[in-house]
């Protein structure tokens, strides 16, 4: 995997040129944001070294974000696995992809294979885990979370956005992007609008290079996502 520094505290790991996960340094060790594809755990552990990984924060339960959760949990005793309450049913085996009241009728898209490791910490919008602020950004899938490192302004956006030559709101990515799956494009657009008041200095997405900048980048992405 390719390794790239992100801001002052993060490392980006990219597998197969397309799939990202991130290590964020905290006082007690590493926080891993997403777990990439299955079979990535050994590379992540090798990169983390010491101090060890203390927790995994999952933006959402798609296969390219939870793939190595079980592998990492088997290797790290006491590992905390955290995600939104809404994501938990979709992480079961078999996953429950039923829509809840108020979520409309658009089907949930993308593979959700589930994991055997139980979620040990349920996250709510506005909750802090170490230096990271959980931000609700549904749209790509119900229950999606992004995480803002309040120390250096890095937004770990998961699949709320993607940097595919340009920063794009999920659902408004280029036609050629093979992972252009979105549950509700309008909710996705509103989620990115809600990020405008956060002190964002760079954006690290699940797909594409980390991009420096804040509000102007969001505004440009929102222009491209106009209905």
Q: Can you give the CATH number for the domain in which 23 is found?
A: 3.60.15.10
Residue 166 vs residues 120, 153, 195, 199, 218: alpha-carbon distances, Å: 36, 20, 18, 20, 11
Q: How do residues 22-68 score in pLDDT, each as one tens digit?
A: 999 999 999 999 999 999 999 999 988 866 899 999 999 999 999 99
Total number of domains in the chain:
1
pLDDT digits (tens, 9 = 90+) for 201-217: 999 999 999 999 999 99
Whole domain around residue 42: which residue ranges? 2-224
pLDDT score of 181 more than 90: no
Residue 196: phi and psi, rounded to 5, are -60, -30
């Amino acid at each position: 995997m390719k390794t790239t520094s992100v801001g002052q505290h993060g490392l980006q790991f990219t597998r197969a040129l397309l799939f990202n996960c991130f290590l964020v340094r905290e006082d007690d060790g590493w926080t891993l944001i997403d777990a990439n594809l299955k079979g990535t755990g050994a590379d992540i552990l090798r990169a983390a070294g010491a101090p060890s990984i203390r927790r995994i924060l999952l933006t959402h339960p798609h296969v390219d974000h939870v793939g190595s959760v079980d592998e990492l949990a088997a290797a790290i005793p006491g590992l905390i696995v955290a995600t939104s309450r809404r994501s938990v049913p979709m992480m079961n085996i078999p996953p429950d992809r039923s829509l809840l009241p108020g979520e409309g009728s658009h089907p949930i898209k993308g593979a959700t294979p589930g994991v055997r490791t139980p979620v040990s910490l349920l996250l709510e919008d506005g909750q802090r885990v170490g230096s990271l602020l959980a931000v609700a950004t549904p749209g790509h899938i119900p229950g999606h979370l992004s995480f803002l490192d309040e120390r250096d302004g890095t937004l770990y956006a998961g699949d709320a956005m993607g940097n595919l030559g340009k920063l794009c709101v999920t659902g408004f990515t280029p036609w050629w992007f093979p992972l252009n799956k979105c549950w509700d494009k309008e909710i996705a657009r509103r989620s990115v609008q809600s990020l405008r008041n956060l002190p964002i200095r760079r954006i690290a997405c699940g797909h594409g290079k980390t991009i420096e900048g804040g509000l102007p980048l969001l505004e440009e992405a929102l222009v491209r996502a106009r209905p």
